Amino acid sequence: MTPEQKVRGYYALFWEASESRINQLIHEDYLLEDEQLGLAGIGREALHTYFVPGGNRAYPITVLGYFGDDRAGVAHLRVRWPTKYVAPAWGLSGTDEEIEFEAVSLITFRDGKIASDRAFWDSGLLYQRLGGDFPNPDPEKFGVQPGESDGNGPASSNNR
């Protein structure tokens, strides 16, 4: 089985988990990290604890590509989540309505099995799509008047 096939099989576990498949693909010292949601898990049971609530159905993750080898690589993903799973992490209310976004995961292998998964995605964009609102920054709090340079680049009258 190629590393890409292992990665695709790994993400299929998130909604079709079985003990034999987990044991085949996942290293016993597996590490799962999703800092944006404050999730971390160690060991094969982390798949069940965090991503297979109430059984074998969570949410689909589509692998758009895997770039790497049998030691490490990056998986480019498309994730579709019911908003009720992610919105509460930011104090927002969610529903069964799904939201779709792209992410990347850094994947490492040990002894031919997936040893770690560190997920990264644009949590700010997702927060806004879920209805969260960022306050408009006040440049004066940073000691810069609109239209003045802060010494780190050209002056701008735009609020970015």
CATH code of 102's domain? 3.10.450.50
21 in a domain, yes or no?
A: yes
139 in a domain, yes or no?
A: no
137 in a domain, yes or no?
A: no
Q: What tens-digit pLDDT sequence spans the chain (160 residues)?
A: 999 999 999 888 877 767 788 889 999 999 988 877 777 888 887 776 655 444 434 567 899 999 999 999 999 999 888 888 778 878 888 888 888 999 999 999 999 999 999 999 898 888 888 888 887 777 677 666 666 655 665 554 444 4
Q: Is 76 exposed, middle or buried (0-12, 13-18, 19+ CB in 10 A)?
A: middle
- How large is the C-alpha radius of gyration of the chain? 20
88 in a domain, yes or no?
A: yes
Based on the structure, what is the number of domains in the chain?
1
Report yes or no: 33 and 66 within 8 Å, Cβ to Cβ: no
Give this prediction's pTM: 0.75
151 in a domain, yes or no?
A: no
40 in a domain, yes or no?
A: yes
Q: How far apart are CA 143 and CA 65, in angstroms?
A: 44
13 in a domain, yes or no?
A: yes
108 in a domain, yes or no?
A: yes
Give residue 50's domain range. Answer: 3-131
Nearest to 50 by CA among 125, 121, 127, 119: 119
